[in-house]
Structure 1
Amino acid sequence: MALLEIQSMTQVFGGLCALSDFNLRFDGGELNGLIGPNGAGKTTVFNLVSGFYKPTQGQILFKGRDTKPMKPHKITALGVARTFQNIRLWHDMTVLDNIRLARHQTLGYNLADALLRTKRYQRAEADIERNAHEILEALQLDRYAHERPRNLPYGMQRRVEIARALAVKPDLLLLDEPAAGLNTSDVDGLIQLIRWIHKEFKLTIWMIEHQMQVVMSLCTWIKVIDFGSTIAEGTPEQIQNNPDVIKAYLGDGTL
């Protein structure tokens, strides 16, 4: 059984076809890329997989289950976590609380447990606290635990967002342009971080990224879309030399 299988997925907004006949299969453990020009439909794909949109046609299966009827938080609980192109952190909370809150869909207790401070509540909160500190330590963010994200450098905010996604213990991590807004030094650090996360957490990573340095350094398989349609897929070397990709993505020249 595939970890993620997308069959003939199509998305129409009004009279505009944003995505057409999109197909994909991940068996688990991959680190793959999704690229294309601005407006190609990449983030639409991630919004569909994570449940923010429902496909007009086609099917999305995660661990063999049809996710179309599911709310986004149910899909997250099933094992799909994501980051966003524009960082979406709770800036009035501490870094630690950002990580802790990511586990809200798996609390394991109800309102009565919280009000009465039952053993079930105490066990669940202790587990959430322990998991949050482990994630922060693993990503070298523990010294910022009580800082507010707005006070951190942009590159660290990106790292916090990835940490929050990891806190839900996903099987599939969707990274939407993780290098956006980063300087050269931060990009180098991001490449090392993603490679380490993939190995250490043993999960599947699917990334959207415009910076070819990141994609070509990390991904073993890349899918390319343009105007909502797949125009190529293959290894980094195959994509780098594909004339259709060069024409769509850059106009001319080489990747």
Structure 2
Amino acid sequence: MALLDVKEMTQYFGGLCAVSEFTVALEQGQMAALIGPNGAGKTTVFNLVSGFYKPTRGEIIFDGQSIKGLKPHQVTSRGIARTFQNIRLWFEMTVLDNIRIAQHHALGYGLFDCFLRTPRYMQRERDIEDHAMEVLSRLGLAEVASELPKNLPYGVQRLVEIARALSIKPKLLMLDEPAAGLNSADVEGLIKLIGDIHRDYGIAIWMIEHQMDVVMSLCSWIKVIDFGATIAEGTPEAIQNNPDVIKAYLGDDTI
């Protein structure tokens, strides 16, 4: 049974079909990519799977259960974490607090415990901070734990967002253009980091990415969409030489 099984997912915005009969099956521990030209509908697919939109029709099965129509925090609690194309951090909170707050869906204590600072509250808060520091250390971010994200370089902010996603202990990590805005040196470091995360955490990773060096270096399976419709899927080698993919990216004159 696939970890994520999306069947004929379709999304309309008014009369516009943004995603048409999208189908994908991701296995436990698989590393896959969703690519396509700008405006192809890739982020819409991620928004549908992660609960920001409800599909017009189709089904989304994760870990054997339907998640169609669930709110984002409910999808997160099932084991799906994601990053965003445009960085979404709390820039006026420390890096550590950005990671800690991601645990809100599984605090394990109530308002009573919080007000009275009960032993349950104190222990859980210690556990949350220890876990946050463990994730930051794993990504080489421990030394910036007390910094505000707004004071950090763009590439480091990207890593903080990935750390926040990892902190919820996901079964599936969805990365929306993780290399966007990075220089070549940072991209090389990102490729290594994602590979290490995949190996060490053993989780499935599904990414949207325009930098083909990242996709071809990491992913075993690639799906390509254009104008919301699937035009190709397969191994990196097959996709690289697919005439429909070349046409979608570069136009008719290249074929």
| Superposed pair shares fold, TM > 0.5 | yes
Per-residue displacement from partner, 1:97-120 (whole Å, max 9, x unpaired)?
000001111101111110111122
Does residue 64 (structure 1) correspond to residue 64 (structure 2)? The answer is yes
Does residue 78 (structure 1) correspond to residue 74 (structure 2)? The answer is no
* Structure 1 CA distance for aligned equivalents of residues 9 and 194 of structure 2: 28
What is the percentage of aligned positions where both structures have the same residue? Answer: 67
Aligned-residue offset at 1:189: 0.5
* Structure 1 CA distance for aligned equivalents of residues 70 and 225 of structure 2: 26
Per-residue displacement from partner, 1:148-203 (whole Å, max 9, x unpaired)?
01111111000000000001110000000000000011111100010000001110
* Structure 2 CA distance for aligned equivalents of residues 111 and 198 of structure 1: 37
RMSD: 1.0
* Structure 2 CA distance for aligned equivalents of residues 230 and 182 of structure 1: 28
Query: Which residue of structure 2 aligns with residue 209 of structure 1?
Result: 209
Gaps of 5+ in 2: none
Query: Which residue of structure 2 aligns with residue 242 of structure 1?
Result: 242
TM-score, length basis structure 1: 0.98
Query: Which residue of structure 1 aligns with residue 135 of structure 2?
Result: 135
Q: Does the residue aligned with 1:159 lie in a helix, a strand or coil?
A: helix
Does residue 230 (structure 1) correspond to residue 230 (structure 2)? The answer is yes
Aligned-residue offset at 1:233: 0.2
Q: Does the residue aligned with 1:40 lie in a helix, a strand or coil?
A: coil
Opposite residue 28 of structure 1, the aligned amino acid is Q
* Structure 1 CA distance for aligned equivalents of residues 3 and 188 of structure 2: 29
* Structure 2 CA distance for aligned equivalents of residues 26 and 226 of structure 1: 20
Q: Does the residue aligned with 1:90 lie in a helix, a strand or coil?
A: coil
Query: Which residue of structure 2 aligns with residue 26 of structure 1?
Result: 26
Aligned-residue offset at 1:44: 0.4
Per-residue displacement from partner, 1:135-158 (whole Å, max 9, x unpaired)?
011000000000001111111000
* Structure 2 CA distance for aligned equivalents of residues 77 and 124 of structure 1: 17
TM-score, length basis structure 2: 0.98
Per-residue displacement from partner, 1:203-231 (whole Å, max 9, x unpaired)?
00000000111111111000000000000
- Say if 2:55 and 2:69, in contact at 8 Å, map to a contact too: no
Per-residue displacement from partner, 1:69-122 (whole Å, max 9, x unpaired)?
311101101100000011011000000000000111110111111011112212
Aligned-residue offset at 1:253: 4.8
Aligned-residue offset at 1:64: 1.2
Gaps of 5+ in 1: none
Pairs aligned (count):
254
Q: Does the residue aligned with 1:168 lie in a helix, a strand or coil?
A: coil
